[in-house]
Structure 1
Amino acid sequence: MNTTALRQGVVLACLAVAGCGFAVSANAQGTGEAASASASQAVESRRDALFAAMLTDPSNLDIAFEYATLSAQLGDFEAAIGTLERMLIYAPNLPRIQLELGVLYYRIGATEMARSYLEAAEVSTAPPEVRERVATFLAQVDRQDRRFLVSGTAYAGIRYQSNATAAPGEDVIAINGVPVRLDQNARAQADGNLFGLADIHMTYDLKNQYDLIEANLVTYGSVFFDVERLNLGLVEAQLGPSFGFGRFGFAQTRLGVYGIAGATGLDQALYTTTYGAGAVLRTAFAEGVLFETRNEFRAANYNDSPAYPTVRLQTGQEYSSLNNLTVSLSPQVLMQTVVTGRRVDARAGFKSYGELGASLRGTYFFYMPEFGPLAADAPWNASLAVGGLLRRFDDPDVLINAAASEKDEAAWIEAGISAPLQRGFSAFFTAQYTRQWSNYDTRDYDNAVFTFGLSRRF
């Protein structure tokens, strides 16, 4: 087998594995739906028997409570609420009934009624476990009542790359068929860097039970130890309305549209400015099966600088699509499949390209004993991911290969682990290896990346 066939086989295998992730997800969904239907029938039969028993013995609180519990399990919240409120006639101020009523009213969006029942349970002589649940749901009601919410994650750490410049490791490469010896600055260079990232999400509730104004702000910065021309700063903001489909009976579906604005600095100079628009659709096919598709348009303006004197040729438009299917196979195992597509129309044809990528990630959650700064009440997670990429450029770069346009294939594998720390922090470590094959020797390289850092959700 020749080298070209081998590398294409590796990339296609990675893409096929990711595609299999969608197939496995669909099969898991079908199996889950069949099991769910059978379980629902059994619950419905039991509920019918309990309803008949309530008619003959309306003061039996055990029967009524089980009927209310099964009704809530089947999504018949009105029947559950009605049954629990009748129970209060026979057992006034019973903390457990007040708690369950508060939870049910919260689930149907009636926050004022939820608050009244939860506060009543809170002031009663409830057992400690009931008081703990009351406090949890009161905090959620308080959060839901606030119209403006901010959440996000911050990361900081150190990263080492065996080929930070993504350059060929060979001393001699072919340029238009002629062997050329590269100087040190044009060859692969190992380096490390310090980095920081903040991903902030803001929502403003329009108080019509469905719609929001959403905003996202991403900032990133990295400082390299040796190759200073790679020092990077980035900021991007997204803002727009998000529409809930609950009004149409699809409570787990939401569509958002937004504008995009951003800028990137490289080597202490303005590298790009961007603006654009996007749309994102999120939905739950079934319990534990989530799908998101995000499609965006960006207009990018590149600025020449002493370190990057020809990047203005990349100025143009970009169209991208990201499709993410997440399936919870069990409380411990999560599978995520991502398929991406991108089209870049740059000022120069040899900078314009189309790209297709796919990845498959599995994550396993587990608990470890508390030790030192480690937290015992949050799970660790270990992950393994593989991915592949195909990229094709429109025109040849006559300075590199006048006879053929650039064709790239890449494959990567990554393993990582995250440990929960006290005060909401986590420590993480990832190791990744990427191999890119190209018919342009200047773009044929490999890179090993090791990252250690801390993160915190807020």
Structure 2
Amino acid sequence: MSAVEVRSGLWSLRVAAAARELAWALAALAVLAPSAQAGSRDFNRPPRAAVNDVERIEARRTALFQTMLDDPGNLDAAFEYAALSSQVGDLEGAIATLERMLIFAPGLARLQLELGVLYFRLGAYGTAATYFDAAVSAANVPEEVRKKVAQYQVAIASRSETSMFSGSLGMGVRYQSNANSGPSSTIVTLNGLDFLLSDDARKSADGNGFLSGDVSGLFDLPAQGVAFKVSLRTYAEGYLEHQDLNLVYGEVAAGPSFDLNRFGLDGYALDLYGIAAGGILAGDPLTSSLGAGVFIGGRPTNDWFHGLRAEYRHERFYDSDAHARMSEKSGDRLQGQYVSSWRLSDRLTLDAAGTIDRFEAQFARNSYWQYGALVGLTVQYASPLESLSSPWSIAVTSQLSRRKHDAPDPMVSAIAQHTTKWTLAVTQTIPLTPDWAAQFQAGYQKSWSNYDTSAFDNATFGISLRKVF
């Protein structure tokens, strides 16, 4: 049995795979980012009735309309008519009814509040603000009305801005039991022969520091219902021992976003965007990609966000002294993804995602199909420390993927490679201030493969600080 040095061949394959996984992990984070705020209120859409309820609602509206003709001062009938009109999308009818009621009940806070809500959903923020101000102008306004008006006033202020920026910055340290994704066994089988791996290719623990950034911008365009979105995601890590794994990666996506309310898809938007990305490994160029994507998503209810994404990328890998054949792994990628987030309660959120990925490389051994699924549960709970009053949260995420290559790698086997990976991660978040939070992370990844060189496991432990803005 002899030792085999795999850094220029099989090791390069793992580096390329790791770089691809990092790029798509960052892309997945961008897709899932809205789910982190799935519990936030989104007012700019009318409630929608189920199709089989529309006929019943219309019959009831007809009866109520006759009641209002017979008794113009019947506020209960007017409120019910306006609510049902909103359910079937007739916001103008609901507004006309409530404004007519103001003649019979001038200054009624409930009427002014409901009119403000309806005008907000139409996007007439100035008129909505006028009604909201009037609703809380009296001295004896119920507290629940004042709270609801305050929510809308905050929303109006944010939506009235012509540009908005948001994002987060993170920094931390991490320990990995298998930093280089070395095989679980020190002996691997290559084309039916057993080889003893060299020290550099074996499983090796290491620690690293990392920096991450995620910044998004939204700019209103002159056309009604059209905005321009841009996002930038960056990641950098440096290792104590395996400095050949030091990585810097960045990705920018930009393009127009179209509000689909005008087409009857209340609360939905369509994003079209271009993509540019690149990475550097150990000081040498590793990868670059250009592409385009489309995403349609929205919130059918205040507690549910979901969306579909499709992307194309041309990815290039570059040769270096350490990785002489990386360019053979260049190719074209098509990916489809569905993401969803449900706020099950005030303290519980469920996230899920599914992905289909096709990568077409120059050589069939580097081409593959990949299927993946992710599910996550976030629980928010009261802080156990009096000095840190903001609620804490703990998130548990599990991810499973299956990759099947088109053809075998002649260096390894006469059979094409297939690999299954499972990851479990737990993240404890502790808010320190409104803008800063501490995070403690633990994770485990297991990889099963018919290629010994791709079968491994890795446990991680980390601590980080994150600032949101």
Normalising by structure 1, we get a TM-score of 0.79
| Change in 2 beyond 3 A, CA 1:177/1:270 | same
**2:225 alignment partner, one of 210, 230, 233:** 210
2:399 — aligned with what? 387
User: Which of 231, 240, 250 is residue 225 of structure 1 equivalent to?
Assistant: 240
Counterpart amino acid of residue 434 in structure 1: Q
Report if the CA contact (8 A) 1:415-1:430 is conserved. yes
Aligned partners of 1:82, 1:320: CA distance in 2, in Å?
47
Deviates more, 1:365-374 or 1:349-358: 365-374
SS in 1 for 2:390: coil
Q: Does residue 103 of the first structure (1) align with residue 117 of the second (2)?
A: yes
Cα contact 1:320–1:340 (8 A) shared by 2: yes
- 1:168 corresponds to which residue? 183
The amino acid that maps onto 2:369 is: G
Task: Give CA deviations for 1:266-319 in whole Å, capped at 9, x if unaligned.
Answer: 112221121111111225566745432211111122222233333222122222
CA offset digits 1:150-176 (Å, max 9, x no partner): 223333332221111111133322233
Once residues 98 and 169 of structure 2 are traced to their aligned partners in structure 1, the CA distance between those partners, rounded to angstroms, is 43
The code of the aligned residue for 1:390 comes to R
Distance 2:407 2:52 in 1: 58
Determine if contact 2:266/2:300 at 8 Å carries over to the other structure: no
C-alpha contact 1:374 1:422 (8 A) present in aligned 2: no
Name the counterpart of 2:441: 430
In 1, the alpha carbon distance for the partners of 2:466 and 2:62 equals 50
Task: Give the structure 2 partner of residue 400 of structure 1.
Answer: 412
User: How do residues 139-288 of structure 1 correspond to structure 2 at under 5 angstroms?
Assistant: 139-206=154-221, 208-284=223-299, 288=303
Give a deviation string over 1:108-143, Cα, whole Å, max 9, x none.
111121122234446554656545543432232222
Look up the SS of the partner of 1:219 in the other structure.
strand
Identity %: 35
- TM-superposition CA deviations, 1:33-74 (whole Å, max 9, x none): xx9799999999998887677566644657755665665567
Aligned-partner SS, 1:107 = helix
Which amino acid in structure 2 is aligned with residue 111 of structure 1? Y
SS state at 1:78 partner: helix
SS in 1 for 2:434: helix
After superposition, the Cα gap between the structure-2 partners of 1:122 and 1:209, relative to the gap in structure 1 and judged at 3 Å, is farther
How many angstroms apart in 1 are the aligned matches of 2:457 and 2:287? 26
Which of residues 451, 463, 466 in structure 2 aligns to 1:440? Answer: 451
Tell me the SS of whatever aligns to 2:95: helix
2:132 to 118, 133, 143: 118
Question: What residue in structure 2 maps to residue 6 of structure 1?
Answer: none
Ranges in structure 1 where 5+ consecutive residues have no aligned partner: 1-34
Residue 372 of structure 2 corresponds to which residue in structure 1? Answer: 357
Change (3 A) 1:343 1:46: closer
Q: Distance in 1 between matches of 2:111 and 2:301?
A: 30
Partner SS state of residue 427, structure 1 = strand
Q: CA deviation at 1:412?
A: 2.5
Residue type of the alignment partner of 1:100? E
Tell whether the 8 Å contact from 2:214 to 2:231 is kept in structure 1 after alignment: yes
Which letter maps to 1:105? Y
Report the secondary structure of 1:417's partner residue. Answer: strand
Q: Does structure 2 conserve the Cα–Cα contact (< 8 Å) formed by 1:300 and 1:317?
A: yes
Deviates more, 1:141-150 or 1:448-457: 448-457
Tell me if structure 2 keeps the 8 A contact 1:267–1:307. Answer: no
Unpaired stretches in structure 2, ≥5 consecutive residues: 1-48
| Aligned residue in 1 for 2:17 | none
- The amino acid across from 2:92 in the alignment is E
Q: State the match for 1:324 in structure 2.
A: 339
What is the aligned partner in structure 1 of residue 33 from structure 2?
A: none
1:95/1:125 contact within 8 Å kept: no
Q: CA deviation at 1:390?
A: 1.6
| 1:90–1:328 CA distance, 2 compared to 1 (3 A) | same
The number of residues matched between the two structures is: 420
What's the Cα RMSD here? 3.3
Contact 1:428 1:452 in 2 (8 A): yes
Matched to 1:444, the amino acid is A
Per-residue deviation, 1:443: 1.2
> What do the CA deviations read for 1:352-403 (whole angstroms, capped 9, x no partner)?
2221222233333444466213415xxx4433333322212233333333x2
The 8 Å contact of residues 382 and 390 in structure 2, kept in 1 or not, is answered as no
* Residues 1:346 and 2:364 are matched in the alignment: no
Aligned partner of 1:137 in structure 2 is: 152
Q: How does 1:275-314 map to 2 (within 5 A)?
A: 275-284=290-299, 288-314=303-329
Partners of 2:299 and 2:305 within 8 A in 1: yes
Tell me which amino acid in the other structure corresponds to 2:233: V
Tell me, yes or no, if the aligned pair for 1:320 and 1:343 is still in contact at 8 Å. yes
Please say if residues 109 and 209 of structure 1, whose CA atoms lie closer than 8 Å, have aligned partners that are also in contact: no
Give the superposition deviation at 1:251. Answer: 1.7
Greater CA deviation, 302-311 or 442-451? Answer: 302-311
- Taking a change above 3 Å as real, the CA distance of residues 419 and 77 of structure 1, as seen in their structure-2 partners, is farther
Task: Write the distance in 2 (CA, Å) between the matches of 1:61 and 1:406.
Answer: 71
Q: 1:315 to 1:415 in 2, by over 3 A?
A: same
Amino acid at match of 1:299: H
Whole-Å separation in 1 of the counterparts to 2:170 and 2:72: 57
C-alpha displacement at 1:78, in angstroms? Answer: 3.4
